[in-house]
Structure 1
């Protein structure tokens, strides 16, 4: 952390964990899913968390005030991967869905867009090359070109045309673009709200949408010098350099994330 140290930041990882342990009752940990808790896969439905992740998240949730996963995945997908977790909140579709204390809440402004998203997914399957994986998420449509990177330009042109024609938002990512309803919600807004009453927060991310979450930690520090925020990037060959440049430290893989948390918990 020393290379990107800010005035209120401890000079080392060990010190950062010590500060976090001191503020455990007022600390929140936020995690992206794909590329952070799970390796990215060619087939999104095949993604699974690193084996050590569920256990270490449950231990972390018992040690701090709150743990949450903030993902582009639907809440239904996240629940299928973390059914055993009792203390972890789930934010799906960039915060359009929230699972908290046994119930899922959907942003009301997004609900009328479900039929349009379904139609968009059907058009994508009909109009884009068959190598493109079209992922319908109820409130968004993701167009994956990981297995056919040479088609990225065609996919992005099609996506931007649809966004302009139908008034949709578009989100770029790791070998994917996603079309979303024009509802004002993103990971940065989730974190802004989530740290409003916190005195310490960590965010682990690997993609462009996660930079907004990093920025939310910086903004909280700007208005409250007593707040301690740590932005952690997870390395990858696609967006890694840009995300790492916005973070306080970089870990090498989801397996390294699990080990980092396991080691850090010894400070509590």
Structure 2
């Protein structure tokens, strides 16, 4: 075995299992350090099925109780989403011990208060203007989702317009000085502020010894990378990357993950089964 690759036993001796390992073994190890574990979840496509109308998205009903119980079993549970915190709160208002990161971490709900990244606030007027411009200039089949600090252009109901939306989005990004985030049938324009899911996870695991991230889209690969990076510098840290299958970005996300689940409903069932490891 090349010197650059550690022998599998060396990681185990340092207290961390090697990848790949079964889900059951991963949960059993996680339970052994539950108090120092954080579970991170994307929302759309992970806790909720993706819908044609973003406003219609709802979490899988059974997942709410599971998340609340998990929040009582591990150190921390957090949802990291492209949605605004206000939207996430409307879907998870029954949860009292789950942190919410909205707009890729530009907004954070923690301990009963919302904190917004100060560097993003000056861009609110530009985003409002951009949303109005999109509604006026793009075909009416394109759903324009205004999020105060970003604008998402959904073409799920009109996939033939993908190139039109992407071209328009890149033109506006260059005109205004914005960044673009691609996703599942969506082009999103964001302020030029250094914040993404990878940075959220990188900061969120600094005091953790174990973390899981569940994602389904291209932006979630940065979160996977953050867990890998933490493992690389901390031999005692253990991370698990879980992908959720989908027809648009599924192959790329799954190739970056430790395991893949078939749907948000499967995620809810997977988490419910995992609770047994924490009840022993």
- Provide the TM-score with structure 1 as the length reference: 0.97
Q: Deviations over 1:50-71 (max 9, x none)?
A: 0101100000000000000000
Structure 1: 5+ residue stretches without partners:
1-5
Which residue is equivalent to 2:30?
20
Which residue is equivalent to 1:193?
203
Which residue is equivalent to 1:63?
73
Which residue is equivalent to 2:236?
226
- Alignment pair present for 1:76 and 2:83: no
Tell me the secondary structure at the aligned position of residue 129 of structure 1: coil
For the residues of structure 1 that align with 2:200 and 2:36, how far apart are their CA atoms?
A: 17
For the residues of structure 2 that align with 1:12 and 1:178, how far apart are their CA atoms?
A: 36
TM-superposed CA distance for 1:198, in Å, is 0.4
State the Cα RMSD in Å.
Answer: 0.8
For the residues of structure 1 that align with 2:190 and 2:22, how far apart are their CA atoms?
A: 39
For the residues of structure 2 that align with 1:118 and 1:208, how far apart are their CA atoms?
A: 25
- Alignment pair present for 1:180 and 2:190: yes
Aligned pair partner of 1:9 in 5, 8, 18: 18
Structure 2: 5+ residue stretches without partners:
1-7, 12-16
Which residue is equivalent to 1:119?
129
C-alpha contact (below 8 Å) 1:9/1:16 kept by paired residues: no
Which residue is equivalent to 1:217?
227
TM-superposed CA distance for 1:225, in Å, is 1.3
Q: Deviations over 1:4-62 (max 9, x none)?
A: xx854263211111100001000000000000000000000000000101100000000
For the residues of structure 1 that align with 2:116 and 2:233, how far apart are their CA atoms?
A: 30
- Alignment pair present for 1:205 and 2:226: no
Which residue is equivalent to 2:148?
138
Which residue is equivalent to 2:177?
167
Tell me the secondary structure at the aligned position of residue 204 of structure 1: strand
State which structure, 1 or 2, has the greater radius of gyration over its C-alpha atoms.
Answer: 2
For the residues of structure 1 that align with 2:158 and 2:217, how far apart are their CA atoms?
A: 19
For the residues of structure 2 that align with 1:267 and 1:196, how far apart are their CA atoms?
A: 24
State how 1:19-58 maps to structure 2 within 5 Å.
19-58=29-68
For the residues of structure 2 that align with 1:100 and 1:61, how far apart are their CA atoms?
A: 14
Which residue is equivalent to 1:3?
none
Runs of 4+ in 1 over 6 A off after TM superposition: none
- Provide the TM-score with structure 2 as the length reference: 0.93
Tell me the secondary structure at the aligned position of residue 143 of structure 1: strand
C-alpha contact (below 8 Å) 1:75/1:91 kept by paired residues: yes
For the residues of structure 1 that align with 2:237 and 2:107, how far apart are their CA atoms?
A: 27
